[in-house]
Amino acid sequence: MKTATPRPAVRGFLDWMRVECGASARTLEAYGADLRLYATRLSGTPPERATPEDVLDFVAGEAARGMSPATQARRLVTVRAFHRWLHAEGVADTDPGALVDGPTLWNRIPKYLTPGEVSCLLAPDAGDDPYVLRAQALLELLYGCGLRATECTSLRTEHVHFDESTLRVRGKGGKDRVVPFGRAAATALHAWLDEGRAAFAPAGGDDPGTVLLSVRGRTLTRQDVWNAVRKRADARGIGRGKLSPHTLRHSFATHLLTGGADLRVVQTLLGHASVSTTQVYTRIEEDRMRAAHARFHPRA
């Protein structure tokens, strides 16, 4: 297990919220304030060693300070999200927040694009400009393969197997998985690797070996991924509030399940350690069934 200290752990979580989830500046400010209070209440205990009692003590302390029920609920949501992230990142062995009753961010249905919006977003631009080729390859990795932003940035050229149409992806906790890719992704990856990547590759043997490179020949950052997705979304008229790199991963999973894929298969493709994490996507289909029942059944 990794060792964390409160301040770096909080910074890492807020960076994830900003880049992966597209949290607004106001949301990040509120989360940061809540977690600084929580770190103070831990009194030096590393966050990965916190217990459910620590979480309950924090909320009880906020009540004792006269905080409103709404503020208490919001701060509990923040702490639970923080601990869930620590656990998912492999920093903590347990998730103490999961054992504390209260509202949670994680039961919300993930945002996703419709198939039509995906077709609009992923329609390739004409030409062989390296930026265009890189953006297309990136989008196909996010949606066509369901990768996380960090998995896209760390994917290495030797882990792209065109003969088998698979990628070897290093996921959370250092776990590898094999992810297949289709014709559209193969076309985009071939074009980038064969025609575009050399324009950004550094001279002198300092190539980092990752599939995607910055214009300076370095490994892309998660912020680079975010910017590329937003740029394409703006160009195609897809709303900013609906789209982030993770939205494409959510769309990948949602479209597989609504198309009839087995939940366990989707779990494996996403690299989820537990099927319970993947089950959040089934709520989308459940809501559709309830809406159809309410609309069409004579005794609804």
Q: Residues with catalytic annotation?
A: 148, 172, 246, 249, 272, 281
- Cα 235 to its chain centre, rounded Å, is 22
Judge residue 28's burial from the number of C-beta atoms within 10 Å of its C-beta, 0-12 exposed, 13-18 middle, 19 or more buried.
middle
Q: Rounded to whole angstroms, how far apart are CA atoms 192 and 194?
A: 6
Cα-Cα end-to-end distance for the chain: 51
Query: Which string of DSSP letters, residue by residue, matches 150-202?
Result: HHHHH-BGGGEETTTTEEEEE-GGG-EEEEE--HHHHHHHHHIIIIIGGGTPP
Q: How many helices (H) and strands (E) would you count in the chain?
A: 13, 3
Amino acid at 37: L
DSSP-derived secondary structure letter, 44: T
Indicate the length of the chain as a whole number.
300
Q: Residue 297: count other Cβ atoms within 10 Å of its Cβ.
A: 8
Query: Which string of DSSP letters, residue by residue, matches 98-159?
Result: GGS-S--GGGSPPP---HHHHHHHHSPPSS--HHHHHHHHHHIIIIIS---HHHHHH-BGGG
Q: Are the C-beta atoms of 86 and 4 separated by less than 8 Å?
A: yes
Task: Give me the phi and psi of 174, to 5 degrees please.
Answer: 70, 20
- H helix runs in 179-281, sequence order: 183-191, 222-236, 245-258, 263-270, 275-278
